[in-house]
Chains A and B, each alone.
Chain A
Amino acid sequence: MLSYALLVHAAPYSEQGALSALRFAQAAVAQGHRVSSVFFYRDGVHNASTLMAPPQDEVHLAEGWRALAQEYGTELLVCIAAGLRRGLMNAEEGLRHGREAHNLEPPFVLTGLGQLVDAMQANDRVITFAP
């Protein structure tokens, strides 16, 4: 049994990387490994959007990530700097920046790069999924 941290740079749907990351996570937990955290960075932050609404016959990436968090306790960490730059914010940040809406909700959590550094130290493997 290994513990994994995933680092997702890839935007949802634009490239293969995000779906590959989700599939890897699902396969790993199905085989009894632990995926303790997924860190979303660069365009990968868009995986966390609450407003994601893909056609019904396509994989719903955000829901896939949420299910992983609910069933296996995987932490879904979103880089706050990369997220804010790209228009992704939770209710608290929305308020702070004077916005009337927000598009990030739990189990996704806005956090700093320090959490990525922690995840790299705390897990057996770190795997990057780029575009």
Chain B
Amino acid sequence: MQDDEAALAADIPIAPLDLLVILRHPPHGSSWLREGVDVALVAAAFGQSVGLLFQGDGVFALVEGQCAGPLGQKGTHAQLAMLEMYDIERLWVSANALRARGLMPADLMLPVQLLEAEALERLIHAQPRTLLF
């Protein structure tokens, strides 16, 4: 099923957005992910079209059932739950990153589109403005 979804994603033409934010850090342990999502939310609030790409350990941000934990950090699950309210609906996930961490789409808190390496490359090339967190 995972392969079918990825194949589907590869066929979808990816139109340029105003901003693509790439998230590569896990939701706890540093503020990278949180401050990256902040930029996406502000850009969307300013009326920009924004997409999020979760790569590497960034996919952990989407895992269902997180909470603020013993690290004394808020985490990002609450921010991610607000994405739809800000009309940020284009959420892409690296299929390789998900597989490498033993995760399935069903483990994630939001509906996302899986991208295989080739589709992911096309997405990034299609975007004129990208910020990396």
Contacts and interface: CB of A to CB of B under 8 A. Distances in A.
A114 B48 CA distance: 11
Contacts, number: 34
Contacts of A114: 42, 45-46
B131 A7 contact: yes
A42 B132 contact: no
Interface string B103-133: 0000000000000000000000000010110
Nearest to A86: B31
B35 A82 contact: yes
Nearest to B129: A120
Interface residues of A, number: 15
A128 B46 contact: no
Interface residues of B, number: 15
Given A117-B43, A128-B131, A128-B132, A81 B19 contact: no
A85 to B, nearest CB: 8
Nearest to B46: A117
Nearest to A42: B35
A62 B103 CA distance: 45
B131 A42 contact: no
Nearest to B45: A114
B42 A42 contact: no
